[in-house]
């Protein structure tokens, strides 16, 4: 007899970049389970049910259309969905606190706590509550306390199952993850809940890739993984500055360093700085946790990863200024790319936001172009309309521009007709490659003054 799937009904609270794609993949891979995704934002829920999904992610539309209203449902009726669910993933946002104790560093857990209280209020049967959001270590203990007092005989197990997907490659990451991590209490009921969550993933992921740990290790591992990844980027970016001073080429250095199998080649690409909703937030959270435990040196160590990233963004604009005769006032500067990386419409913490704002402070006329992120860019730069315009077509964006700064590694910018770009621009024409991915020698031979990161500039002036 086939094994009966227990804990059949899955719910996810939070239909964002994490909750939406993850649940769509679970629905695809577990057709016998009902997967419901709820959110307080009714517009978002409506968008998930429409042809225009709320986020751009390659391959996502196909997975959603295959599963929508088959076993994947979106709803705003959170109370009812909680009542019906067996396993509840919580993927609401956990931004950096902007007020009070720990402001600017600690995670703001108010949405999480509010959600936990709502789960307690609506639950009429036992629930497995799974932390999908990235949370400070030991949050599960606090949540268990919130859930258990006054629970009217209902039992809650709080587990940690952080999501490691990266935007732009979310579908591939969900389909073939390097690992899935499930942390639980090591009590009989905790272990049973662990097995229930492991079972969901075991539908398509080999068991040996599903790591199980205690809850605290799981919570901390997610933050630690992001901190390690970001630390590599800040390390190579720190070297990029030295390369520019010494004639070394940072791409060559990264290749040589990354060829060491102990180091590996990925996340060693120098650039204008890392963005995205996670790296900065999670490292600041790590800094705050270290500080709270009196670990000053560890806190300072991790804070420097974020400081280096801020420096890299500022440095990029300083290079632009210096190259363009110390003034960009009134100059038209086209920003090609506004998303924090290619293949996403997400602009959260995008280095392009800092670059645009710094250029506006210098009174440049900024034109923002991006294949998918213009709507988000408009929100990020609201109030700066005197200095910023938007143009989806890159050729129109560069028309009459003094400089082009490539800030997102969209492949369409690599393959653009750069001769045409040059012809459309005012001379001297400058290109600033914030992603180190253009053919610099070719651009130089066309007449551009070429500035990249960690590589000596190729200027016709000297």
In whole angstroms, how close is the CB of 92 to ligand UDX at the nearest point? 4
- Assess contact for 30 and 199: CB atoms under 8 A: no
Quick check: 449 binds ligand UDX (CB under 6 A)? no
Closer CB to ligand UDX, 190 or 271, in the complex: 271
* 122 catalytically annotated: no
Closer CB to ligand UDX, 13 or 455, in the complex: 13
Instruction: Tell me the Cα Rg of the chain.
Output: 24
- Assess contact for 105 and 287: CB atoms under 8 A: yes
Rounded Cα–Cα distance for residues 128 and 18 (Å): 19
Cα distances (angstroms) measured from residue 205 to each of 100, 164, 195, 222, 317: 42, 14, 14, 19, 44
In whole angstroms, how close is the CB of 267 to ligand UDX at the nearest point? 4
Quick check: 19 binds ligand UDX (CB under 6 A)? yes
Stretch that binds ligand UDX, among 98-106, 262-270, 287-295, 321-329 (CB under 6 A): 262-270
Give the contacts of 230 (CB within 8 A, at least 6 positions apart).
274, 279, 280, 283, 305, 306, 309
Adjacency order of strands within the sheet including 210-214: 72-75, 35-38, 10-13, 87-90, 127-131, 156-160, 180-184, 210-214
Stretch that binds ligand UDX, among 81-89, 267-275, 378-386, 399-407 (CB under 6 A): 267-275
Q: Which residue is nearest to ligand UDX (CB)?
A: 16
DSSP letter string over 212-272?
Answer: EEEHHHHHHHHHHHHHHHHHHHHHHHHHHHHHHHHT--HHHHHHHHHTSTTT-STT----S
Closer CB to ligand UDX, 173 or 362, in the complex: 173
Closer CB to ligand UDX, 163 or 362, in the complex: 163
Give the contacts of 44 (CB within 8 A, at least 6 positions apart).
15, 16, 54
The residue annotated as part of the active site, out of 12, 30, 243, 278, is: 278
Closer CB to ligand UDX, 184 or 237, in the complex: 237
In whole angstroms, how close is the CB of 214 to ligand UDX at the nearest point? 19
Which DSSP letter does residue 458 get? B
Residue from 28, 280, 341, 440 binding ligand UDX (CB under 6 A): 341
Residue from 67, 94, 160, 347 binding ligand UDX (CB under 6 A): 94
Residue from 204, 216, 267, 444 binding ligand UDX (CB under 6 A): 267
Kindly state the number of chain residues that form the binding site for ligand UDX, as judged by CB under 6 A. 40
Rounded Cα–Cα distance for residues 407 and 431 (Å): 11
Stretch that binds ligand UDX, among 138-146, 192-200, 272-280, 418-426 (CB under 6 A): 272-280
Residue from 10, 85, 253, 268 binding ligand UDX (CB under 6 A): 268
The binding track of 205-234 with respect to ligand UDX, each residue x by CB under 6 A or -, is ---------------------x--x---x-
In whole angstroms, how close is the CB of 134 to ligand UDX at the nearest point? 4
In whole angstroms, how close is the CB of 301 to ligand UDX at the nearest point? 19
Closer CB to ligand UDX, 55 or 416, in the complex: 55
CA-CA-CA-CA dihedral for 381, 314, 296, 226, to nearest 10: 60
CB burial readout 197-213, b (16+ within 10 A) else e: bbbbbbeebeeeebebb
CA-CA-CA-CA dihedral for 164, 233, 216, 145, to nearest 10: -80
Rounded Cα–Cα distance for residues 308 and 351 (Å): 13
**Segment 375 to 414, residues that bind ligand UDX, using CB under 6 A:** none
Closer CB to ligand UDX, 279 or 451, in the complex: 279
The binding track of 143-182 with respect to ligand UDX, each residue x by CB under 6 A or -, is --------------------xxxxx---------------
Q: Which H or E element spans position 70?
A: none
In whole angstroms, how close is the CB of 95 to ligand UDX at the nearest point? 8
Rounded Cα–Cα distance for residues 199 and 11 (Å): 15
Catalytic residues: 278
Name the site residues for ligand UDX (rule: CB under 6 A): 13-19, 39-41, 44, 91-94, 111, 114-115, 133-134, 163-167, 226, 229, 233, 267-269, 271, 274-279, 340-341
């Amino acid at each position: 007899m086939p094994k009966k799937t227990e804990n059949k009904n899955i719910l996810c609270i939070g239909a964002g970049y994490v909750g939406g794609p993850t649940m769509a993949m679970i629905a695809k891979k577990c057709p016998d389970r009902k997967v419901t995704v709820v959110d307080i934002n009714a517009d978002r829920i409506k968008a998930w049910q429409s042809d225009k999904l709320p986020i751009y992610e390659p391959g996502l539309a196909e997975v959603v259309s295959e599963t929508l209203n088959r076993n994947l449902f979106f709803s705003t009726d959170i109370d009812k969905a909680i009542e019906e669910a067996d396993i509840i993933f919580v993927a609401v946002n956990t931004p950096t606190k902007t007020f009070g104790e720990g402001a600017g560093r600690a995670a703001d857990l108010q949405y999480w706590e509010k959600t936990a209280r709502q789960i307690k209020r609506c639950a009429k049967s036992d629930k497995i509550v799974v932390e999908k959001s990235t949370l400070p270590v030991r949050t599960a203990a606090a949540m268990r306390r919130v859930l258990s007092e006054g629970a009217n005989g209902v039992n809650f197990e709080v587990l940690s199952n952080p999501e490691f997907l990266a935007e732009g490659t979310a579908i591939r990451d969900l389909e073939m993850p390097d690992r899935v991590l499930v942390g639980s209490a090591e009590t009989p009921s905790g272990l049973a809940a662990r097995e229930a969550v492991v079972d969901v993933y075991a539908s398509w992921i080999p068991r040996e890739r599903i790591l199980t740990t205690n809850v605290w290790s799981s919570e901390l591992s997610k933050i630690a993984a992001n901190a390690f990844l970001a630390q590599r980027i800040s390390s190579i970016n720190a070297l990029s500055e030295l390369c520019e001073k010494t004639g070394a080429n940072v791409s060559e250095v990264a290749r040589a360093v990354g060829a060491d199998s102990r180091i590996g080649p990925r996340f060693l690409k120098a650039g204008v700085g890392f963005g995205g909703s996670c790296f900065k937030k999670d490292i600041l959270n790590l800094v705050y946790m270290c500080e709270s435990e009196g670990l000053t040196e560890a806190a300072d160590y991790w804070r420097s990863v974020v400081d280096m990233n801020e420096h890299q963004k500022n440095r990029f604009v300083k290079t632009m200024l210096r190259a363009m005769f110390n003034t960009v006032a009134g100059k038209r500067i086209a920003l090609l790319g506004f998303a924090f990386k290619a293949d996403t419409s997400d602009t959260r913490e995008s280095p392009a936001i800092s670059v645009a704002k710094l250029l506006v402070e210098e009174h440049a006329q900024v034109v923002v172009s991006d294949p998918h992120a213009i709507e988000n860019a408009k929100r990020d730069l609201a109030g700066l309309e005197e200095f910023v315009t938007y143009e989806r077509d890159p050729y129109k964006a560069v028309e009459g521009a003094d400089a082009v700064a490539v800030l997102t590694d969209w492949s369409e910018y690599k393959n653009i007709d750069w001769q045409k770009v040059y012809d459309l621009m005012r001379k001297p024409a400058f290109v600033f490659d914030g992603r180190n991915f253009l053919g610099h020698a070719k651009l130089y031979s066309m007449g551009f003054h070429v500035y990249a990161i960690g590589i000596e500039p190729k200027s016709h002036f000297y």
